[in-house]
Structure 1
Amino acid sequence: MRRLLRTTWANTVLLALVLSFVTTTAVFAKNLDVSLTELFPSDRQVKTTLVINKVLERFHYRRFQLTREFAAQTLDNYFEDLDINRLFFLERDVTRFISNAGQLHDQLQQGKVDIAFDIFRIYRMRVDSRIEYALALLDQPFNFSRDETYQFDRSKSAWPVNEQQLNDIWRKRVKNDFLTLRLAGKNDDEILKQLRKRYEGIMRRIHQFTVDDVYQTFVNAYIRTLEPHTAYMSPSTSENFDISMRLSLEGIGAVLGADNEYTVIQRTIPGGPARQSGQVRTGDSIVGVAQGLDGDMEDVVGWRLQDVVDKIRGPKGSVVRLQILPKAEGTASRRLREVTLVRKEIALEDQAAKSSIITIPTDAGAAQRIGVIEIPAFYRDFRAESEGNPDFRSTTRDVRQLVTQLKKQQVSGLVIDLRGNGGGSLTEATSLTGLFIRQGPVVQVKDAFGKIEVESDPDPDIIYDGPLAVIVDRNSASASEIFVGAIQDYGRGLIIGEPTFGKGTVQTLVDLNRYVPGDNTDLGRLRLTMAEFFRISGGSTQLKGVEPDIHFDLGIAGSDQGERSLENALPWSKISTASYTQHHSINNVQHLKARSAQRTAQESGFQMLMSRSRILSEIEAEDTVSLQEQIRRRESDQREQVLKEERHRFLRAQGIEPVDEDAESPDEEALEKQQKVIDKIQTRESAHILTDFIQMQWNTAYEQRTAK
């Protein structure tokens, strides 16, 4: 189990890297137009479905049972995956198939997926019809003074009932697309040319869907009905994955995701070109991609995520230019930012832990020196370890050295920064915890058969037993949550920040061919959820994540963040408590909260973060936008002005003259420096909280000594 979990992490992370950000120099041939007469399932896919059913029934962590209700939900998911914004299908299309869910149930039991292909053929015809209508609309003038709105997020709306309703939705959609580009500074001729290419590109890419593409899309809708982290890779996708694994991980250093028709930056990787540019931020949308310094910018709105990734990937040292729609200004934005990035390999050194010292004044007058260690990922150089190198790099080894150095510099306390740390090696999460506890269990792992194994720190050695705090945010996940949960359960340190992501499940790659020995047919692979992490106190890290002892209330609602936002996510659950002894009991947390709230209410950095969070929350709550040009300009200007004023006020308070990131050639080094200062706002407050905690401990000890 232990080796399997380590392998699971490596496969899961590498799969995410390959599918989500720039990875290889390989260029895969584009499909030609596929005839409708070719879009029928094959015998190989019947066999694949039967094997998938068998694997899910026997090995998936969640009990799988193919019922009629499950088949009906699969159809819902499939329609959603094909047409999430409800721009193509009519209500009668959906009703016809949903009412026939029993037929799909019977087919799936036999491995058949004929209905999935029936639906896709109708979908392709609907796309052709809609694109023809959209192109015709471009020949007509638009009235941008007319008082009307466009609902850009229709994922929860009813399906259009007839052609007339669908025509009106598309009229507003095309009008909105036109207005958005006009607000970005393009002239009408440029806009018409770009939108024609965009709409024709949507139709062209749908026509390039092969039988494997259609099957993979449907099977993933089927599997997602069970649980969101299990996924299928067709033979062609598996082949691309293998090619990617044989090449170095080169790219822009950004994890990408799909949101309706946009490709969205989910997070940037420390040390990567995107993060270092200072111009690419979480939540921004990529709307255009260009190659080299002077290549044409290609509109990628409406593209499949993998197609956008294929455009962004390229050899180390080459240039890619991205056209970014900033999240902070929302759909009303009239500002597109062009960012030039040089692709590079994300080296282990770029991910390595780093340390610094923050000096905090106290009420008593004597300043406290607080050590800070940033850990971007739980890394371990498996290759160097397997080659017998005794000095292989790892998170635990690096942190041990950093702590030793900080102790020599006589720090009074230590802050571990895990913000944005999406996880990594389970071994490292366990051994890192061991640096701060004497010995004992760190995490419990329950597999699909109910067997529970405990990962423990067997080493009684402890590198640091002083005051400790850990900062987390909504992107701290997996191995981060294991470490943080153990530190909290042992009472070893204060947990500060936001509730963590809540991913408490474990995946492994399963080669489906192993279940049909002697058959040379390639069936592809399944990424399978096969275990769950539990804290030593018994509760899972799944769904709920880890709740901080002291929250940074930035005004962002957390109900639809992280794992909590995923459909069919495994629920939170609890098992028996492991045998462990709590090291400390942290008291008077309310006093620390009150002191922190008083500081942050007056601090310009937190005021800036609050303003940004408030605007982002407003944007996320919107699903409609005005189609009046004057109103759109005003909305965009107001948001941009608020964000810019707060940012500039804070930076000037730090003695830094703000850099104009909208300049044609902004100073990237200065922008990165500015972002680092902003990133330290929460770090510094965490150091303040830990200083209060140290002072509180000293006062308690003094009172006890005086009483004696």
Structure 2
Amino acid sequence: MQIAVVRSLKFTLFSLLISLALPGLATVAELKPTAEQSKAVVDLVEKLNKEHYRDQEFNDALSSRYFDEYLKSLDSAKNFFLQTDVAEFEKYRKTFDDDYKKGQLDNSFAIYNRFNKRMVERLEKVIKTLDDPKTKFDFDVEESIVIDREKAVWPANAAEADKLWHQYLKSNLLNSMLSDKTLEESKTTLRKRYANQLRRLKQQTPEEAFSVMMNSLTTLYDPHTNYLSPENAENFDISMSLELQGIGAVLQSDEDYTKVSSLVVGGPAQKQGQLKPNDKIVSIAQGADGEFIDVVGWRLDEVVKLIRGPKGTIVRLEVMPADPTATANKQITIKRETVKLEDQAAKKAVFEIKNGDSTFKLGVIDIPTFYMNFEAYQKGDPNYKSTTRDVYNLLNELNKEKVDGIIIDLRDNGGGSLPEAAMLTDLFVDPGPVVQIRQSDDTVSRNYRAYQPAVYRAPIAVLINRLSASASEIFAGAIQDYGRGIVIGSTTFGKGSVQNLVDLKHGRLKITEAKFYRISGDSTQHRGVIPDVKLPSLLDPDQIGESSYDNALPWDRIHPAPHQNYYNISKYLPRIETAHQERLAHDPDFIYLNKQSEIFKEASAKKEVSLRLETRKEEQKQLEARMLKMENELRTAKGEKPYADYAALKKAKGGDESEEEPEQEKSKEINPKEDPYLMEAGHILADFIGQIKHPETKVAQQQ
């Protein structure tokens, strides 16, 4: 996974709406394709056909899929187009392949312009409704609104669309009122949001329309293949330089919201600690007392511009938490900083685990990312920093402390340098292959290898989670395939593809051209690395991970690469698993985590929400009581004083606090006693060591 603020350029038109001018007439100028775009679409189609890893022809069948994807990109909630519009567009369904190969974009722009027209009509009608004092919103009637309209149909007519939008307005107003705003304050906020969207419609350019069209096509090949407009190509270069001064968050479009995909390790947001993956950004304010600007419906790159800023300045975010136990939006204050290499450096700790009558001294090495200071390396600096060099030094220190085994912690490690993943593996295994790479022409390379005798030979464990990706998966997969150690945690992200940037006649194309395969022959793509011993996770794999993306490349296998086998892990797993489950059943932290997970699953399964104020208040009250009970059960089990009420819990968790001048956290030290996942990984490793007669690894014959 690339470390960047701009991650996905698959736009929806609804996210192309931002505040720039005053609202005016209910019409916008029709957009027309440029000569440069006509050349670029021919170039793009040719490169997809010749260079993309997925071999598929842009024919009538793919044109039909593109038609559906294009409409989805424009109107994913199916609340702007009417059924008559979609029926009229059907004549274009199987024409896009022929059109694009010839550089013809007129039909695509015709659909785009119709959507603009429908949006202007709807937004002006909504603003008028909010301005009309005679408009009443009845929050006493028991009715509900469907949350996910993916399988819904477009409104049959304007009257049906009016009814749907009245429900939308009620839902948005209700959400605002549940965050302690009055009805009038909520109406004012909502009116500004729609006025901003209307203003932006009149400022759109053909390039914005073209980006939507091209990314609707590229996503049919895989989710990591994207068209970059000239401006977005420049932003991509900035983000990849790691000199970007911002908050260190990877963002993506999610219908009309900007969603946090992941956090950059060592970045300001990760250090501050409140922003979480899947949180949705609602509004942004500059400085300690700047006015919040609603950004729902804004284009991704415009949201990024507001978040990005000079080092040392303050940005405040209002977010809709992904945590379903949160009962209101939260405000987060973050100081912008440049991510420093030392903030991403590996670090170690030593702790003891008592298993039965035995006590084990264990080391843990936390690796936030696979890094290398390329500039220092190219200058010939003998002390350049890299993951492998740092871990090598830490291993020597742990050896001096005579630890019985080591945990390699790769949780939340989104990847980084592929050579570093291979060299890190080299510290734990003797010479042999680490990863296989298959190109689109089916050629397979095994150039990334371990070349030196292993530096560390005692038992190890690798701790992973859903946000462990790419290079992390290569390392964890190699350790698992060699039988070198036991892999613990939850299934990894599943990012097993390789991208390359190619220039187009207008803009650039980030294109998937290869796939990673483990030495066992299994791909890391889509499926990820499945742990030997599983730990509970609060991250929903249906929401986060490669398998959550449409058109993700599939998992498959190729021939295995000959390699050594160290421990027969499967022989030890039955006894390890039995002891593991017994601990989970009695561990207060994991009992609490499992109850949290139940709430998360219930929220994800919910298809509708009530539009009755008292019903929503009662649901919120019940959730708060449930959370208080869970939290107090955990505190009681740990010998801590229970909270008196939910307000005390909320205050303790920082739910009602917003720092004006935040002191950015230092890089957190490893504290196993405060980390139930790390402690349980320690118990599992201790069980593993306890079943091994000799501490030194015995190398088996090649298989």
Q: State if a TM-score over 0.5 links the two structures.
A: yes
Q: What secondary structure sits across from 1:526 in the alignment?
A: strand
Aligned partner (choices 614, 627, 630) of residue 646 of structure 1: 630
Contact 2:60 2:97 in 1 (8 A): yes
Determine the structure 1 residue equivalent to 2:546.
563
Distance 1:623 1:198 in 2: 25
> How far apart are the structure 2 equivalents of 1:656 and 1:393?
43
Give 2:255's aligned residue.
260
The answer as to whether partners of 2:9 and 2:215 remain within 8 angstroms in 1 is: no
- Select the residue among 343, 346, 349 that pairs with 1:353: 346
Aligned partner of 1:617 among 594, 598, 601: 601
Q: Report which stretch shifted further, 80-89 or 616-625.
A: 616-625
Instruction: Please point out which of 423, 445, 457 is paired with 1:453.
Output: 445
In the alignment, is the contact (CA less than 8 A) between 1:33 and 1:208 conserved in 2? no
Bigger CA drift: 97-106 or 655-664?
Answer: 655-664
Task: Give the equivalent residue in structure 1 for 2:33.
Answer: 41
Q: 2:301 aligns with which of 288, 302, 306?
A: 306
Distance of aligned partners of 1:37 and 1:137 in 2 relative to their CA distance in 1, 3 Å threshold: closer
Deviation at 1:670, TM superposition (A): 9.6
Measured in 1, the distance between the counterparts of 2:613 and 2:670 equals: 33
**CA 1:50 to 1:482, structure 2 compared with 1: closer, same or farther past 3 Å?**
same
- Is the 2:28–2:201 Cα contact (8 Å) retained in structure 1? no
Q: For 1:386 and 1:674, how far apart are their aligned partners in 2? A: 31
User: What is the aligned partner in structure 2 of residue 78 from structure 1?
Assistant: 70
**1:308-362 deviations in whole A, cap 9, x for unaligned?**
11111111000001112222237xx642211111100111111111111221112
| Alpha-carbon distance in 1 for matches of 2:76, 2:673 | 36
Q: Could you say if the C-alpha distance between residues 170 and 73 of structure 1 is closer, same or farther in structure 2, counting changes exceeding 3 Å?
A: same
SS of residue in 1 equivalent to 2:530 = coil
Which of these residues, 629, 633, 640, is aligned with residue 613 of structure 2? 629
Contact 1:443 1:454 in 2 (8 A): yes
Q: Which amino acid aligns with 1:61?
A: Y
- Is the 2:7–2:251 Cα contact (8 Å) retained in structure 1? no
Distance in 1, matches of 2:461 and 2:665, equals: 30
Q: Percent of aligned positions with the same letter in both sequences?
A: 38
Matched, 1:551 2:534: yes
Alignment equivalent of 1:664, drawn from 641, 644, 657: 657
Task: Single out whichever of 139-148 and 424-433 deviates more from structure 2.
Answer: 139-148
Task: Give the 3 Å change call, closer, same or farther, for CA 29–54 of structure 1 in structure 2.
Answer: farther
- Closer, same or farther in 2 for the Cα pair 1:296/1:443, shift >3 Å? same
Deviations 1:97-156 (A, max 9, x none): 234312223212212121211111111111111112222332312111100001232122
State the match for 2:411 in structure 1.
419
Counterpart mapping for 1:27-176 below 5 A: 36-37=28-29, 39-138=31-130, 139=132, 140-176=135-171
Query: 1:485 touches 1:535 (CA, 8 Å); kept in 2?
Result: yes
Post-superposition Cα deviations, 1:291-321, rounded to whole Å, max 9, x if no partner, equal: 0011001111222222211111111000001
Can you list the C-alpha shifts for 1:523-553, whole angstroms capped at 9, x where unaligned? 1100010111011111111111111111114
Aligned to 1:579: 562
Report the 3-state secondary structure (helix = DSSP H, G, I; strand = E; otherwise coil) of the residue aligned with 2:527: coil
**Residues 66 and 351 from structure 1, CA distance in 2 versus in 1: closer, same or farther, beyond 3 angstroms?**
same
In structure 2, what is the Cα distance between the partners aligned to 1:563 and 1:552?
20
Q: Distance in 1 between matches of 2:636 and 2:666?
A: 14
Distance 1:368 1:602, change over 3 A: same
For 1:507, the equivalent position in structure 2 comes to: 499
Question: 1: distance between equivalents of 2:385 and 2:665?
Answer: 31
Aligned AA for 1:546?
A: V
Q: From the superposition, tell whether residues 33 and 102 of structure 1 become closer, same or farther in structure 2 (CA, over 3 Å).
A: farther
Once residues 439 and 112 of structure 1 are traced to their aligned partners in structure 2, the CA distance between those partners, rounded to angstroms, is 55
Question: Structure 2: which amino acid aligns with 1:69?
Answer: A
| Mapped contact 1:270–1:351 kept (Cα < 8 A) | yes
CA–CA distance in 2 between the matches of 1:251 and 1:555?
27
The whole-number CA distance in structure 1 between the counterparts of 2:306 and 2:585 is: 45
CA displacement at 1:235 relative to structure 2: 1.9
Tell me how far apart the structure 1 counterparts of residues 372 and 137 of structure 2 sit (CA, whole Å): 57
Distance 1:337 1:380 in 2: 36
Rounded Cα–Cα distance in structure 1 between residues aligned with 2:693 and 2:447: 35
Higher helix share: 1
State how far apart, in whole Å, the 2-side matches of 1:645 and 1:348 are: 42
Per-residue CA deviation, residues 260-308 of structure 1 (Å, 9 max, x unaligned), is 2222222222322222223222222221110001100111122222221
Q: Sort the Cα spacing of 1:258 and 1:646 in 2 relative to 1 into closer, same or farther, 3 A.
A: farther
Match among 398, 413, 418 for residue 406 of structure 1 = 398
Q: Name the residue aligned to 1:536.
A: 519
TM-score with structure 1 setting the length? 0.89
Aligned CA distance change for structure 1 residues 322 and 531 (closer, same or farther; 3 Å) = same
SS in 2 for 1:367: strand
Deviation digits for residues 385-437 of structure 1 (CA, Å, limit 9, x no counterpart): 11111111111111111111112112111111111111111100100001000
In structure 2, relative to structure 1, the CA distance for the partners of 1:82 and 1:678 (3 Å cut) is farther
Letter in 1 for 2:193: R
Counterparts of 1:672 and 1:88, CA distance in 2:
47
Per-residue Cα deviation, 1:26-82 (whole angstroms, up to 9, x for no partner): xx9969999854511122111111111221122111113111111111111111111
Cα pair distance change 1:18/1:567, threshold 3 Å: closer
Counterpart-to-counterpart distance in 2, 1:649 and 1:318: 41
Residue type at the aligned position of 1:438 = D
Closer/same/farther in 2, CA of residues 671 and 239 from structure 1, 3 Å limit: closer
The answer as to whether partners of 2:437 and 2:515 remain within 8 angstroms in 1 is: yes
Q: CA deviation at 1:690?
A: 0.6
Distance in 1, matches of 2:247 and 2:632, equals 28
| Cα deviation, residue 96, structure 1 | 2.2
SS in 2 for 1:455: coil
Please say if residues 410 and 462 of structure 2, whose CA atoms lie closer than 8 Å, have aligned partners that are also in contact.
Answer: yes
Residue in structure 2 matched with residue 340 of structure 1 by the alignment: 333
Calculate the aligned-residue CA RMSD, in Å.
2.8
Matched, 1:224 2:219: yes
Encode CA deviations 1:639-680: one digit per residue, 9 max, x unaligned: 344335434554676677873412334797899989977972
1:341 to 1:380, Cα distance in 2 relative to 1, 3 A: same
Query: How big is the shift at 1:477?
Result: 0.8
Quick check: 1:152–1:173 contact (8 Å CA) kept in 2? no
CA contact 2:7–2:252 (8 Å) conserved in 1: no
Report if the CA contact (8 A) 1:19-1:309 is conserved: no
Distance 1:15 1:532, change over 3 A: farther
Residues 1:526 and 2:509 are matched in the alignment: yes
Distance 2:451 2:477 in 1: 19
Per-residue deviation at 1:246?
Answer: 6.9
Closer, same or farther: CA 270–227 of 1 in aligned 2, 3 Å: closer
Q: Deviations over 1:202-246 (max 9, x none)?
A: 222233221011001100001111221110111232244446667
SS in 2 for 1:329: coil
**Offset at residue 566 of structure 1 (A):** 1.0
Mapped contact 2:243–2:338 kept (Cα < 8 A): yes
Letter of the 1:288 partner, please give it: S
Paired residue secondary structure (1:597): helix
Give yes or no for contact 2:272–2:334 (8 Å, CA) kept in 1.
Answer: yes
TM-score after normalising by structure 2:
0.90
Matched, 1:604 2:588: yes
- Change beyond 3 A, Cα 1:182–1:673: farther
Contact 1:329–1:639 at 8 Å: present in 2 too? no
